[in-house]
Amino acid sequence: MLSMKTVAIVDYGVSNIDSVRRAIEECGAHPIVTSSFRDLEKASHIILPGVGSFPVAMRNLRERRIVESLKEQVVAKKIPFLGICLGMQLLAATGEEGETTEGLSFISGTVRKFQPLSQDYRIPHIGWNSVIVVRDNPLFRNIDPASNFYFVHSYHLDCSNSEDVVARTPYCGEFVSSVMRDNVFGTQFHPEKSQKNGFQLLRNFLSI
């Protein structure tokens, strides 16, 4: 029963939290926007939303001492964890935006800026694009294999291990649009803004 699920949405000062909160509510679960360890401890699922810059985000996470809490819940206790957009990029080992920063290192890889192949490829990558699922996984159940989701970003996560890659999206070649490693999930797109498909994905996540 989704209504029994308490979902912690990490508040780290620079992100668009309200839409994620609203979306989780619409899914029938119970969202808490928080940065406190106690709340993270009680949650059945954790979401790290994302709008902002990598170095500023990591700094905020460290300042609020969230990094340790996350590592505790996610790595040690294996709570299902979803990073959205910047949240997915933060999963990486290294970020390249502005300065080189160490990420959460839940998924190994480097965050890089898009390199446009021609003038037709405008950066940031903004809009609806196909997410092509390359690997069986619980996030994309009951969703058509090449559905459109909403993206708005200039950077993407370059995964070191191809087994972590769940989906790719064509833009400036191809980039990784969704990842999974054990209980850690990431989507470069915004499921909370992707209407029917996005809500299905969130429900799938909450059912884990």
Partner 1 sequence: MLKIRIMPTLLFKDLGLVKGKGFDSWRRVGSVMQSIKVYNMREVDELIFLDISATDEGRRPDFVAIDELADECFMPLTVGGGVRALEDFEQLLKVGADKVAINTAAVEQMDLIAEAARTFGSQCVVVSIDARRVSQGKFRVFTHSGKILVDIGPVELARRSEQSGAGEILLTSIDRDGTMEGYDIDLIREVAGSVSVPVIASGGAGTYEDFVKAIEVGKASAVAAASIFHFTHQTPLGAKQFLASRGYEVRL
DSSP string, 42-109: H-SEEEE---S-HHHHHHHHHHTTHHHHHIIIIIIS---EEEETHHHHTTSSEE-SSS-EE---SS-E
Of the residues 94, 105, 148, 207, which one makes contact with partner 1 according to CB under 8 A: 148
180 touches partner 1 by CB under 8 A: no
**Which of residues 75 and 123 has its CB atom nearest to partner 1 in the complex?**
123
Q: To the nearest whole angstrom, how small is the minimum distance from the Cβ of residue 55 to partner 1? A: 10
Give phi and psi for 171, each to the nearest 5.
-170, 130
Long-range contacts of 34-39 (CB under 8 A, 24+ apart): 34/8, 34/9, 34/10, 35/10, 35/11, 35/64, 35/66, 37/65, 37/68, 37/69, 37/72, 39/8
Q: Identify the H or E element spanning 187.
A: strand 184-187
Contact characters 22-51, partner 1, x per CB under 8 A: xx--x------------------------x
Residue 190 annotated to the active site: yes
* Paired residues of 151 in beta bridges: 127
Q: Identify the H or E element spanning 24.
A: helix 18-26
Number of residues that bind partner 1 (CB under 8 A): 39
Of the residues 15, 188, 200, 204, which one makes contact with partner 1 according to CB under 8 A: 15
Residue 97 annotated to the active site: no
**Which of residues 38 and 196 has its CB atom nearest to partner 1 in the complex?**
196
Q: At what angle do helices 18-26 and 195-206 cross, to 10 degrees?
A: 70
Catalytic residue (choose from 27, 45, 85, 125): 85
119 touches partner 1 by CB under 8 A: yes
Residue 172 annotated to the active site: no
Of 35-43, 65-73, 122-130, 173-181: span binding partner 1 (CB under 8 A): 122-130
Tokens at 208, concatenated: 């884990």
Of the residues 29, 40, 52, 139, which one makes contact with partner 1 according to CB under 8 A: 52
161 touches partner 1 by CB under 8 A: no
Residues tagged active-site: 85, 190, 192
Which parts of this chain interact with partner 1 (CB under 8 A)?
14-19, 22-23, 26, 51-53, 56, 86, 98, 116, 119, 122-130, 148, 150, 152-154, 170-171, 190, 192-193, 195-196, 199
